[in-house]
Amino acid sequence: MPFDALSDASDEALLVAYGNGDTAAASALVLRLTPRVLGYAARVLGDRAEAEDVVQEAMLRLWRIAPDWRQGEAKVTTWLYRVTVNLCTDRLRKSGRSVDIDAVVEPDDGRASVEATLIETDRAA
């Protein structure tokens, strides 16, 4: 994928390109997603070094599934955040620490909530 196209490509397009062997697409995706995922993990864990380990593991899992990514089933960011949440929860459990998961703000995936969708459907009817 040409360099100019990388910055304009969707996360899904970059992941699919990486799954097809394009390492430049993987680099672009890492640069795009790492800051947000790292910030989230650091807030949950309260330790930046531990958060970096979690992000590294989450990205490795993303790379492993890249060749088998099924387009349209989920957003890359949603999948990556879910893996990150699970890894953070596992680390907290193993260390004996806990966090109120309800108190941690979930990242916005850009879609309307189920409740908002139902209200809009009722109004349209």
Structural domains in the chain (count): 1
What pLDDT is recorded for position 42?
Answer: 95
Q: Mind giving me the DSSP string for the chain?
A: --HHHHHHS-HHHHHHHHHTT-HHHHHHHHHHHHHHHHHHHHHHHS-HHHHHHHHHHHHHHHHHHGGG--TTSS-HHHHHHHHHHHHHHHHHHHHT----GGGSPPPP-SSPPHHHHHHHHHHH-
pLDDT tens across 12-57, in order?
999 999 999 999 999 999 999 999 999 999 999 999 999 999 999 9
What pLDDT is recorded for position 105?
Answer: 56
What pLDDT is recorded for position 69?
Answer: 85
Q: Which residue range forms the structural domain that includes residue 48? A: 3-124
CATH of the domain at 65: 1.10.1740.10
pLDDT tens across 39-50, in order?
999 999 999 999
- pTM for the model stands at 0.70
